[in-house]
């Protein structure tokens, strides 16, 4: 187990995850790539093959309104999945998540996307916060606890 592939990378000097026995605690994941200094702002920032899965419709009025949170949610769920896979597990090993939103009105769109990743939803807490790192366009951060027996 180690950091390979597309594991969610930290934005500063902290561990992306820490193991404590059979539990792995993942640091909060945001929709940003620290290697290129880019925050996901809409569907255009997702790989082309993921845009439609995330909800892209081609209708500017819909996509401009839902795109920022939908694209960030898709990016975060993808990094979460890839990080847990890198640890040797699957999303079913996630037992708890905390979701931090800048605006709780974004939750229904996030929930739709989250449901496409999970067959069994983990226990969760949703919190609204004033601001998220790394920039004011960040709308969502997700942290998780993973059960992975050693």
- How do residues 32-42 score in pLDDT, each as one tens digit? 987 788 999 99
Range with lowest mean pLDDT among 4-13, 62-71, 74-83, 134-143 = 4-13
Structure confidence at residue 5 (pLDDT): 54
Whole-Å CA distances, 63 to 41, 52, 59 = 11, 11, 6
Does pLDDT of 128 surpass 50? yes
What is the pLDDT confidence band of residue 4, given thresholds at 50, 70 and 90?
Answer: very low
CB 93 within 8 A of CB 80: no
- CA 70, 73, 77: angle at the middle one, nearest 5? 140
Q: What CATH class has 17-147?
A: alpha beta
Does pLDDT of 136 surpass 80? yes
The whole-number average pLDDT for the span 61-68 is 94
Tokens (6 digits) for 126 = 């949703």
Does pLDDT of 133 surpass 60? yes
CB 100 within 8 A of CB 144: no
Does pLDDT of 76 surpass 80? yes
What is the pairing mode between strands 17-20 and 23-30? antiparallel
- How do residues 99-108 score in pLDDT, each as one tens digit? 999 999 999 9
What is the pLDDT confidence band of residue 6, given thresholds at 50, 70 and 90?
Answer: low
What is the pLDDT confidence band of residue 7, given thresholds at 50, 70 and 90?
Answer: low
The whole-number average pLDDT for the span 62-83 is 96
């Amino acid at each position: 187990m180690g950091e390979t592939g597309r594991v969610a990378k930290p934005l500063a000097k902290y561990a992306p995850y820490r193991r404590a026995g059979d539990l792995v605690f993942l640091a909060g994941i945001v929709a940003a790539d620290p290697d290129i200094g880019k925050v996901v702002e809409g569907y255009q920032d997702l790989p082309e093959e993921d845009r439609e899965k995330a909800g892209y419709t081609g209708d500017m009025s819909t996509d401009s309104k839902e795109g920022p949170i939908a694209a960030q949610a898709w990016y975060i769920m993808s990094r979460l999945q890839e990080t847990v896979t890198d640890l040797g597990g699957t999303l079913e090993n996630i037992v708890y998540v905390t979701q931090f939103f800048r605006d709780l009105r974004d939750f229904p769109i996030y929930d739709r996307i989250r449901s496409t990743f999970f067959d069994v939803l983990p226990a969760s807490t949703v919190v609204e916060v004033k601001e998220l790192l790394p920039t004011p366009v960040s709308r969502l951060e997700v942290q998780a606890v993973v059960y992975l027996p050693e």
